[in-house]
Amino acid sequence: MKWIIKFCILFVFLFILIAVETPVFGAEKYSGEVLYKKKCGSCHELYKPESFTAGEWTKHIQHMNSISGLNKKQTLLILEYLKENSKDRISNKKEK
Ligand code: HEC
């Protein structure tokens, strides 16, 4: 009987290990910043986040998304990073 319990514990442990490693269960492996540098620099130089306002980034990312084939989660992560460091946010920070 004891070996069944041991086997179950081992199985649960393995399952957790696999779940954490799998993007579907765990968090997205890369942050927005890393994704941006990985995915958006292949066709042109990386634009600085502060080159555009948050609104401009939203438009650009939709356009770029259609040609670069990112999934929804990746797009949102990149957009979040860009917005956080965009022109309007940076100048807001400086004013305060
Ligand atoms: C498949 C190649 C490719 C990838 C990948 C790509 N871009 Fe571009 N990008 C282009 C091309 C080509 C242009 C210029 C022509 C155009 O606007 O379609 C451009 C232009 C831009 C511009 C300038 C727009 C303007 O009006 O000045 C921005 C900003 C931009 N890309 C952001 C991004 C971001 C952010 C990503 C990542 C999500 C990305 N790009 C990924 C090909 C790419």
pLDDT higher for 57 or 24? 57
Give residue 42 CA to ligand 1 midpoint distance, Å. 10
- Cα distances (Å, whole numbers) of residue 66 to 31, 48, 63, 71, 93: 21, 20, 6, 10, 32
| pTM metric for this prediction | 0.73
Q: Which residues contact 19 (CB under 8 A, 6 or more apart)?
A: 25, 26
Mean pLDDT for the chain?
Answer: 84
Give residue 44 CA to ligand 1 midpoint distance, Å. 7
CA–CA dist 83, 62 (Å, integer): 14
Residues in contact with ligand 1 by the CB-under-6-Å rule are: 39-40, 42-44, 47, 60-61, 64, 67-68, 70, 78
**Residue-range domain boundaries for the chain:** 1-29, 31-96
Q: List, for residues 60-89, the tens digit of each pLDDT value.
A: 998 888 888 888 899 999 999 999 999 988
**What is the CATH code for 31-96?**
1.10.760
Q: List, for residues 48-57, the tens digit of each pLDDT value.
A: 999 999 999 9
